[in-house]
Amino acid sequence: MRSIRTIFAAIAVICAFALGTPAQAQIRVDIEEGHLNPMPIAVVDFLGENAAAQQVGRDLAGVIRANLERSALFRPIAPGAFIERINDLNVPPRFPDWRIIDSQALVVGQVTPLPDGRIRIEFRLWDVLSEQSLTGFQYATTPDNWRRIAHRISDQIYEQLTGERGYFDTRIVFVSESGPRTQRVKRLMIMDQDGANPFFLTSPEAMVLTPRFSPSTQMLTYMSFETGSPRVFLYNLETNRREVLGDFPGMTFSPRFNPDGSGVVFTIDLNGNSEIFAMDLRSRQRRRLTNSAAIDTSPSYSPDGAQIAFNSDRGGSPQIYVMNSDGSGQRRISFGSGRYSTPVWSPRGDLIAFTRESGGRFAIGVMRPDGSGERILTESYLDEAPTWSPNGRVIMFFRESRGQGPRLWSVDLTGRNLRPVPTQTDASDPAWSPLLP
């Protein structure tokens, strides 16, 4: 199994050349409203001096187009409509040829085999209207690492044109499901955010649930029935080493990392009473944060680490509460009609995503941390378990139709860009990684 660090050792960013900086005239995608009028963008198959390089060039362009299209902020133009045939990266394009097909941005690139067996991938992003080069990068990498580069280029384009960080060079860990519903096999699986490169992290014997990424280290935490009773585990993606979080009485579940990855907040259930605890991973000291006879579970830190959203039925039905990270100041924030659970704080800090159960249907929505501004983004027989893209613009979750197995879906904050996420098996409990290092 590959470790992130090895992959990354293979990438050398040779240079980021400073091109013209047209600060004022630059084309710009409005990240809030852009889906109403996606920016037309032309991504040309990257050039290559031999057949192998040309194939990589076509694959790179295909992945970049697919990433941009899925964001719904861009509308990649079909290559068949292109008029100019790009032959040389160093010759400025004929901009009128690109304007006439309504392209506002143009991406060109090149793949060059290097003597040591690696390849050099370079690209440039042009503003077709102002005829200026906006950004460009070169990467030297092993040929099998081209997908990572395609995602990094996609992130460069997204950042340059929206002004916000991208989320394409990321991975998803989720629960791969198989077998009959009464004897479900559930294994941890990890894949790129676009569904490529899936592989299993755990064996079929032990049922696993609710994996979560550390926001800042290459660690996962999840729950497993491996020892018979629910137990929180840690999984180091660099060493593939896993360990039980600690030896606690009762069950442990619903783990999540704190923002810097140095601690985990989770639930311990003892004799039918579930309470939220925080544990420092170095000292292994734990601290109890809730103390009620009710169900207290599903904690999620605010990105500044100062507060924790959680789920409690202390008021008679499951609702979302927020407390300070030392357990003080516990207050209810969900007051809509229905049962609210699975609060997940956005990495931007501005919103809390949740699952709402109302009228026999399950919805994914967002509200501000004070409970105001509730918006439902998607609803079905069962939508559950939201997870945020690292830029806080997209939510992934799982959806089950009545009597069918679960599948992963994504939706943006407008609620209009709802898409299935491709997986080979039934899939649930997605967790989005931070941008890869």
Minimum separation from the CB atom of position 387 to another protein (A): 13
CA 107 to chain centre: 24
Strand bridging mode 39-43 / 105-113: parallel
Residues in the chain: 437
In the complex, the smallest distance separating the C-beta of residue 406 from another protein, rounded to whole angstroms, is 10
- Token readout for 341 is 């659970």
Strand-pair category, 171-178 with 185-192: antiparallel
Nearer to another protein, 115 or 180 (CB): 180
127 or 383, CB closer to another protein? 383
Rounded-to-integer distance, Cα 11 and Cα 67, Å = 21
- Taking residue 55's Cβ as centre, other Cβ atoms within 10 Å add up to 15
**Phi first, then psi: what are they for 371, rounded to 5°?**
90, -5
**Which residue, 87 or 271, is less far from another protein as judged by CB?**
271
Q: Which is closer to another protein, CB of 166 or CB of 211?
A: 211
Contact between 405 and 173 under an 8 Å Cβ cutoff? The reply is no
By beta-carbon proximity to another protein, the closer residue of 137 and 266 is 266
DSSP state, residue 377: E
Q: What angle do CA 423, 426, 430 make, to 5 degrees?
A: 70
Positions touching another protein (CB under 8 A) are 180-182, 184, 186, 207, 209-210, 223, 225, 228-230, 250-251, 253-254, 267, 269, 271-274, 295, 297-298, 311, 313, 317-318, 337, 339, 341-342, 355, 357-360, 382, 384-385, 400, 402-403, 429
- Short-list 137, 132, 8, 3, CA closest to 60: 137
Nearer to another protein, 85 or 181 (CB): 181
Q: Which of 299, 300, 311, 363 is nearest to 337 (CA)?
A: 363
Nearest one of 106, 163, 162, 149 to 14, comparing CA atoms: 149
Nearest distance, CB of residue 217 and another protein, angstroms: 23
Minimum distance, C-beta of residue 421 to another protein, in the bound complex (Å): 18
Closest distance between another protein and the C-beta of residue 311, in Å? 6
Which letter, b or e, does each residue of 56-84 get, where b requires 16 or more Cβ atoms within 10 Å of its Cβ? Answer: bbebbbebbbebbbbbbbbbbbeeeebeb
Residue with Cβ nearer another protein (197 or 404): 404
For residue 33 the two structure tokens come to 């409203």
Decide whether 117 or 316 has the Cβ nearer to another protein. 316
Least separation, in Å, of the C-beta of 353 and another protein? 13
Distance in Å, CB of 338 to another protein, minimum = 9
Of residues 119 and 382, the one with the C-beta less far from another protein? 382
The residue whose two tokens read 């294994």 is 187
Residue closer to another protein by CB (options 27, 232) is 232
Determine which helix (DSSP H) or strand (DSSP E) holds 157, and give its type and residue range: helix 146-162
Distances from the Cα of 282 to the Cα of 234, 262, 285, 348, angstroms: 13, 7, 8, 27
**Beta carbon nearer to another protein, 155 or 275:** 275
Q: Name the minimum Å distance from CB 224 to another protein.
A: 12
Residue 269 Cβ, how far from another protein at the closest point, in Å?
A: 4
Shortest reach from residue 403's CB to another protein, in Å: 4
> Strands, DSSP E only, in 237-336?
241-244, 251-257, 263-270, 273-280, 286-288, 296-301, 307-312, 319-324, 331-332
> Which regions of 261-405 does DSSP assign to beta strands (E)?
263-270, 273-280, 286-288, 296-301, 307-312, 319-324, 331-332, 339-345, 352-358, 361-367, 375-380, 382-388, 394-400
Q: Which two tokens stand for residue 395?
A: 């939510």
Q: How far is the CB of 271 from another protein (least distance, A)?
A: 5
